[in-house]
Structure 1
Amino acid sequence: MMVLKRKQVVVLSLILMIIVAGILQYTYNKSGSSSDGLDDISAGNIYENMVLDEEGDEDVRLGEAVYVDSELMDDDIFVKKEDGEDKDEEGEKALEASKEANDFFAQAKINREVTRSRDQDVLKEITQDATSSEELKKSAQELMMQIIENSEKEMRIETLIKEKGYKDVVVLFGSDGSVDVVVKAPSLTSVQVAQIADIASRHADVDIKDVYVRQKF
């Protein structure tokens, strides 16, 4: 009986970890940090704005930038200057931003795979343990299937978004049913956000209002 209880605690702890991760992700999405170059955009709001603007000037709507990066404004100032030193600083700044973005996407994917592999190992051990109850094994198997399905969806969504011309993408599923899509791009227009959100919504089988698109550059 003691072994059985320990296994139940392990499963409950794992479920709690997933829920906590979802809460942290949700909180992170809502807070949004402008200091690291990320801008969180609700796809549902973008779609609502596009519907409201249908009767207006379409060219103006399509060209409207959803995200304004202070670094891009700084770049405009540098262009107006003819000082070679300022141009060098601009180049170094752009290079640094690109390296930061590369590190972000690489680390995000590594962390995602490490966490997923660890969870699968724990769940697999439970399903193969003869002392585990059938109910416990069933719960573990369902969680394993969910992890596998989410992994396949993430890969599919990332591939389809990259085909739109973006250099890198990372997709993260939340335990609350939300989906985060981070795209490597200096900025995103409302049309681009709508396209990305549509891909994520259809292939993740979630409501478009639960898709959050952001950029990192």
Structure 2
Amino acid sequence: MNTFKKNQIIITALAIMIAIAGYLNFTDKASINEEKYVFNNNETDVSEEDSGLLVPNEEVLTNANVIEEISEEEFALTNETAIVEDEQNTVGEAVFVSSNSVDSRYFLEEKIDREQTRAYSMEILLGVINNEKLAEEQKIDAAAKMVDLQDRIEKEAAAESILEAKGFKEVFVRMDESGVDVVVNAEQLTEKELAQIADVVSRKTGVSAEHVVITPLKINK
């Protein structure tokens, strides 16, 4: 009995620490751009009826005591984004996808959406951990998923930071189970720039270059 209580305390403490770190990371990023962009955040309470909602590209939970892995279609860059077939790719090289220009708020909107999605996933995972009706194994699984999600958030941020430091003005990086999508504010990219981006993303995320998709998007002024 004492061992069970100790495990519960450890799991809850770990989850709370991760949730706080994720929340602080989200609020810091949002505050930087609050003067440039205003968005509506229509928050909804997670109840037994709506806790089965799916969150795109993230691992989320249902209220049926099951932690599900959601396999959704990857986020859309633009309607004109080309579909790259596997047989056209060279093993060991990043995939280059050509696309058109986008609205000036694209990068900010995508980052806000990503952070809101992650915050929602963290909230649901924390709810599972704090649910006294669930088995300890499920709580341990939820805690592990919180650690994995926080690790993904930190890797994306690290890759974006390094790329921007190397001169790429605006960068959006998103990881999922299939690989990493990288969007760069550029009309076109040279072979050298593509190799540089692929190298940074691969090193910072641990994902091999052939699973990195790079898309240049020119911002409309």
TM over 0.5: yes
How far the C-alpha of 1:101 sits from its partner, in A, is 4.0
Q: TM-score, normalised by structure 2?
A: 0.60
Aligned residue number for residue 133 of structure 1: 135
Q: Label 1:137 to 1:13 Cα distance change in 2 as closer, same or farther (>3 A).
A: closer
Q: TM-score, normalised by structure 1?
A: 0.61
Aligned residue number for residue 14 of structure 2: none
**1:20-169 to 2 correspondences below 5 Å:** 20=72, 24-25=73-74, 33-34=79-80, 38=81, 45=90, 100-169=102-171
User: Which blocks of at least 5 consecutive residues in structure 2 are unaligned?
Assistant: 1-47, 53-60
> Is the counterpart of residue 213 in structure 1 residue 214 in structure 2?
yes
CA distance in 1, matches of 2:82, 2:154: 26
Q: Label 1:212 to 1:68 Cα distance change in 2 as closer, same or farther (>3 A).
A: closer
Structure 1 letter corresponding to 2:63: V
Work out which structure has the larger RCO, using CA pairs closer than 8 Å and 6 or more positions apart in sequence: 1
2:68 aligned to which of 5, 8, 15: 15
- Provide, for residues 141-195 of structure 1, a one-character-per-residue CA deviation record: whole Å limited to 9, x for no partner: 111111100100010000011112111101011122x000100111111111111
How far the C-alpha of 1:13 sits from its partner, in A, is 6.6
Q: Label 1:133 to 1:13 Cα distance change in 2 as closer, same or farther (>3 A).
A: closer
* Larger CA Rg, structure 1 vs 2: 1
Q: Label 1:175 to 1:10 Cα distance change in 2 as closer, same or farther (>3 A).
A: farther
CA distance in 1, matches of 2:130, 2:182: 35
- The structure in which a higher percent of residues are helix is 1
Pairs aligned (count):
157
For the 8 Å contact 1:123–1:144, the answer to whether it is kept is yes
CA distance in 1, matches of 2:205, 2:64: 25
Q: Label 1:68 to 1:153 Cα distance change in 2 as closer, same or farther (>3 A).
A: closer
CA distance in 1, matches of 2:160, 2:151: 14
Percent identical residues: 25
Structure 2 letter corresponding to 1:15: E
Q: Label 1:47 to 1:133 Cα distance change in 2 as closer, same or farther (>3 A).
A: closer
How far the C-alpha of 1:102 sits from its partner, in A, is 2.6
- Provide, for residues 99-138 of structure 1, a one-character-per-residue CA deviation record: whole Å limited to 9, x for no partner: x443111111111011100110010011112222111001
How far the C-alpha of 1:197 sits from its partner, in A, is 0.6
CA distance in 1, matches of 2:213, 2:154: 19
Q: Label 1:160 to 1:48 Cα distance change in 2 as closer, same or farther (>3 A).
A: closer
For the 8 Å contact 1:105–1:169, the answer to whether it is kept is yes
Q: Label 1:158 to 1:119 Cα distance change in 2 as closer, same or farther (>3 A).
A: same
